[in-house]
Amino acid sequence: MNTDMRMIAQHRNRFSMVGMSLVELMIAMTLGLAVVAAVGWVYLGTSKAYRTQDALARLQEGARYAFEVIGNDLRMTGTTGCSYRTSTNVINDYDTRWYTNFLEQPISSDETDGGTGTVTELSDALRVLRADVSTEYVVQSDAGGVFTVPSHNLASGALLLATDCDHVAVFQASSAISPTIGHGAGGTPGNSTDELGSGGPYIFAAGSRIYRLSASTYYIATNPAGEPSLFRLRPIGTSATPTAEELIEGVEDMQVSFGVDTDATSDGEANMADPDEPYLTGDQISAAGIVPGTSPQDRWARVISVRISLLMRTVENNVVPTAQSYSYNGTTTTATDRRLRKVFTHVVKLRNR
């Protein structure tokens, strides 16, 4: 290699070892920080939007489930499986308990009372009774206070009704060992007699049907975790004891109102007496003066539809950037936390009215 070639190679080696200048390094760092900041800003915004949308989706999912469960009960309010001419309820003092007063008052409501430890502490309470026609037990014979059916999964103490589409009888199972179902006198609350006729004996012919009596009270209460939830109260066990079960967490309030036929002569259509508030509260129906009828049972029989309004909130806090203002039940409120809240309203038409 000649002298000129060696000098060129040495020059190239020295040039390749030259590093970045301070200015170039600072420019590179600034650009890098800008890119990181932009990525971080996009990530935080996307994460926040996702959290809000996920919370809203959960509220909508909870409301849909609540309306599906309550709506299924309401649409079937008072159903007995088929029509009938005569009826009887042989359960002891049936009219003193909401869950046994099926034939006389299959739907009712209690207004929020703000008490402590009651089902109306945090919300209205909606009570619905109906025959559970999803499962039927076909009578093979009825003799000596005992029904015989092909088979069943009922338990002693279950509240039941029997129907042959001419007569319907409500009773409590005094015994239930498949394939027999007893309707003898006694028990808790128990039957007053084993005779299921309206004032005497009645034998249900083969082919008659027996259904469970579904009785539910829906209301808002605080669960063990301290969160407001939608609960359902149902009679369970040999003594038909009303027992609460939690359905949906994050339901802060429930208000129930009713579309009612207020005509002097009932025509089966709800009347909008007040254009500003066409629905009536439970207290307005129970009290005399607005709805025709000599008794609360007569007035509740004029209910045509039910409007349910749920105030849902997220279980997680700090979902929204600032405390949310919302309107519910005619009142505008500013929350004391940063939970997301949303109001859902659903109207259900009663099929048997």
For residues 4-40, one letter each, b for 16 or more C-beta atoms within 10 angstroms of the residue's C-beta and e for the rest, the string is: eeeeeeeeeeeeeeeeeeeeeeeeeeeeeeeeeeeee
**CA neighbor of 174 nearest in space, from 199, 192, 198:** 192
> Can you give the residue ranges of every domain in the chain?
21-75+250-353
Q: Which residues contact 255 (CB under 8 A, 6 or more apart)?
A: 112, 123, 124, 308, 309, 328, 329
**DSSP H or E run through 10:** helix 3-16
Task: Note the pLDDT tens digit of each residue in 166-207.
Answer: 999 999 999 999 999 999 999 999 999 999 998 889 999 999
Q: What are the residues facing 181 on neighbouring strands?
A: 147, 176
Structure-token pair, residue 333: 């409120």
How much is the CA Rg of the chain, to the nearest whole Å?
33
- Distance of alpha carbon 30 from alpha carbon 134, whole angstroms: 70
- Distance of alpha carbon 290 from alpha carbon 324, whole angstroms: 37
Strands 303-313 and 228-236: what pairing? Answer: unpaired
- Distance of alpha carbon 60 from alpha carbon 76, whole angstroms: 24
| SS3 at position 274 | coil
| SS3 at position 347 | strand
Q: Mean pLDDT across the stretch 304-323?
A: 94
Q: What's the pTM value of the predicted model, to 2 decimals?
A: 0.86
The yes-or-no verdict on residue 50 having pLDDT over 80 is no
pLDDT band at 52 (very low <50, low <70, confident <90, very high): confident
pLDDT band at 36 (very low <50, low <70, confident <90, very high): confident
- Distance of alpha carbon 126 from alpha carbon 109, whole angstroms: 5
The yes-or-no verdict on residue 54 having pLDDT over 70 is yes
**Which percentage of the chain shows pLDDT scores above 70?**
91
pLDDT band at 321 (very low <50, low <70, confident <90, very high): confident
pLDDT of residue 43: 61
- Distance of alpha carbon 101 from alpha carbon 296, whole angstroms: 13
Contact 324, 339 (CB under 8 A): yes
- Distance of alpha carbon 196 from alpha carbon 201, whole angstroms: 6
- Distance of alpha carbon 148 from alpha carbon 32, whole angstroms: 83
Task: Note the pLDDT tens digit of each residue in 98-140.
Answer: 999 999 999 999 999 988 889 999 999 999 999 999 999 999 9
**CA neighbor of 169 nearest in space, from 134, 145, 135:** 145
Q: Mean pLDDT across the stretch 329-346?
A: 95
The yes-or-no verdict on residue 82 having pLDDT over 90 is yes
pLDDT of residue 8: 57
Q: What are the residues facing 332 on neighbouring strands?
A: 327
Q: Where are the alpha helices (DSSP H) in 80-182?
A: none
